[in-house]
């Protein structure tokens, strides 16, 4: 552009235009020239590699990207799309000025000509991020089979996150095999306002207590969380008095879940996907619905109920042929939801024209998602209600939401 005319050269030289550089849809032919240009642009604060065209020489290109990042020590904001864990490890060791780091699609390794192995987890050493003392936002998500901590590390592991006191936004989803002790760092992040965690299926009471100490939280998303027989989730949520947006994905909640909702008077948006892949699916649905309709939620502006519409065997075909699946759903009845018979007399019989089927042997009630929305709309008259069929591809606890 600078070669076109002196006017364009002058415009292109304005520092304001180069605060953020996006490589979306760009194939870089000369990385040496790109690095030289960036070194001379001290105004660059953000590099966005999401959507960059890597080409056939993947390994060489990623090495060039790493070299380029080493020459931009003043960088404050860095975004990755698909990226190997090794590149991230290299970056956090050299860019101490980073304030925001996001990686949407972390993979294990990249080899020229090879496809991603869908069964291989990416190993990420979270403890290395403790060097980024200025970090305010960190978002890490894996591709394929999820993220894992390495078996051997030379850092403090997850506990190293306590060295990031300025952190305000943290998203560590698609993690696997984390014990409840590995979330002991949470109380140290006193400025945290936005938190997304998963997989939380191994959480015990201690982890919920740590969660409850994050009193500044305004947005919380937890994946694979809770149990119908453990009130830890209620204990943790009840202390979050400033929470505005709550998402519980693939969750189980106890009968006392309404107690937590009553304590959060600031809540404006609530999203719940009951875990209907578990053996306790019917009880989970019942606990969720009973808790929602039992209390006054006039302050709630948006409520989403996600109905998981697939099983493990059919999932891949549905995701692959999603548009055909949607047309089939439009012709047939919407996905069904099952509840225990305890709700029949107390709730269902009081709603005219509600259609459902009762199992003669168990007494359980089955109804369509459309009928469920009728109930929620009636009980949450001032709230925008959505009952969403959610096709999910479950590949070792990683959720691809279509």
Task: Give pLDDT tens digits for 106-121.
Answer: 988 777 666 666 678 8
Report the pLDDT value the prediction gives residue 118, as an integer from 0 to 100: 63
pLDDT at 93 over 50: yes
Tens-place pLDDT, residues 208-226: 999 999 999 999 999 999 9
Q: For residues 71 and 88, which has the higher predicted lDDT (pLDDT)?
A: 88
Report the pLDDT value the prediction gives residue 267, as an integer from 0 to 100: 97
196 forms beta bridges with 171, 221
Report the pLDDT value the prediction gives residue 384, as an integer from 0 to 100: 96
Q: What is the pTM of this model?
A: 0.88
Greatest CA separation for the chain: 84
Contact 241, 216 (CB under 8 A): no
Tens-place pLDDT, residues 240-268: 999 999 999 999 999 999 999 999 999 99
| CA 359 to chain CA centroid, nearest Å | 36
Report the pLDDT value the prediction gives residue 310, as an integer from 0 to 100: 62
Residue 316 CB contacts under 8 Å (≥ 6 apart), including other chains: 393
Cis peptide before 199 (omega within 30 of 0): yes
Reported for 84-87, long-range contacts at CB under 8 A and 24+ positions apart, including other chains, are 84/108, 84/109, 84/110, 84/122, 85/122, 85/123, 85/124, 87/62
Hey, what's the torsion of the CAs at 23, 29, 30, 34, to 10 degrees? Answer: -10
d(CA 102, CA 80): 6
- pLDDT-derived band at 314 (thresholds 50, 70, 90) equals very low
| CA 11 to chain CA centroid, nearest Å | 40
pLDDT at 397 over 90: no
Q: For residues 335 and 229, which has the higher predicted lDDT (pLDDT)?
A: 229
pLDDT at 34 over 70: yes
| DSSP 8-state assignment for residue 334 | P
Tens-place pLDDT, residues 122-145: 899 998 999 899 999 999 998 667
Contact 80, 119 (CB under 8 A): no
Residue 41 CB contacts under 8 Å (≥ 6 apart), including other chains: 15, 18
Tens-place pLDDT, residues 8-21: 777 777 777 888 99
Residue 277 CB contacts under 8 Å (≥ 6 apart), including other chains: 250, 308, 311, 312, 394
Report the pLDDT value the prediction gives residue 246, as an integer from 0 to 100: 98
User: Percent of the chain having pLDDT more than 70?
Assistant: 87
Q: For residues 235 and 315, which has the higher predicted lDDT (pLDDT)?
A: 235
State the CATH class of domain 6-338+367-391.
Answer: alpha beta
pLDDT at 392 over 50: yes
Q: Is residue 391 left, alpha or beta, with left meaning phi > 0 and alpha meaning psi from -120 to 50? A: beta
């Amino acid at each position: 552009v600078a070669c076109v005319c002196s006017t364009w050269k002058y415009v292109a030289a304005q520092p304001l235009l180069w605060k953020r550089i996006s490589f979306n849809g760009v194939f870089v032919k000369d990385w040496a020239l790109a690095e030289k240009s960036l070194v001379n642009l001290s105004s660059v604060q953000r590099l966005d590699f999401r959507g960059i065209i890597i080409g056939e020489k993947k390994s060489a290109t990623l090495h060039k990207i790493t070299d380029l990042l080493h020459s931009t020590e003043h960088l404050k904001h860095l975004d990755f799309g698909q990226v190997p864990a090794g590149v991230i490890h290299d970056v956090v060791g050299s860019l101490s000025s980073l304030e925001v780091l996001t990686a949407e699609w972390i993979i294990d390794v990249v080899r020229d000509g090879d496809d991603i192995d869908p069964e291989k987890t990416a190993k990420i050493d979270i403890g290395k991020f403790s060097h980024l003392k200025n970090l305010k936002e960190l978002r890490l998500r894996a591709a394929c089979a999820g993220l894992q901590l390495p078996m051997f590390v030379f850092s403090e592991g997850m506990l190293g996150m306590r060295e990031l006191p300025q952190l305000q936004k943290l998203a560590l989803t698609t993690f696997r095999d984390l014990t409840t002790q590995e979330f002991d760092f949470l109380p140290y992040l006193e400025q945290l306002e936005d938190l997304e965690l998963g997989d939380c299926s191994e959480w015990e009471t201690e982890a919920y207590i740590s969660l409850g100490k994050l009193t500044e939280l305004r947005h919380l998303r937890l994946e694979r969380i809770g149990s119908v027989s453990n009130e830890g989730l209620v204990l943790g949520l009840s202390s979050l008095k400033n929470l505005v947006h709550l998402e519980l994905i693939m969750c189980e909640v106890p009968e006392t879940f309404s107690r937590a909702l009553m304590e959060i008077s600031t809540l404006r948006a609530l999203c719940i996907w009951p875990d209907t892949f578990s053996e306790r699916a019917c009880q989970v649905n019942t606990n969720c619905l009973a808790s929602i309709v039992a209390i006054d939620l006039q302050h709630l502006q948006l409520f989403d109920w996600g109905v998981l519409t697939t099983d493990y065997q059919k999932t891949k075909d549905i995701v692959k042929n999603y548009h055909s699946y949607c047309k089939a759903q439009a012709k047939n009845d919407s996905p069904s939801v099952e509840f225990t018979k305890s709700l029949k007399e107390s709730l269902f019989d009081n709603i005219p024209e509600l259609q459902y089927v009762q199992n003669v042997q168990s007494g359980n009630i089955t109804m369509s998602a459309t009928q469920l929305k009728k109930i929620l709309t009636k009980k949450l008259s001032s709230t925008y209600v959505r009952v969403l069929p959610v096709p999910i591809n479950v590949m070792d606890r990683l959720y691809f939401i279509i």
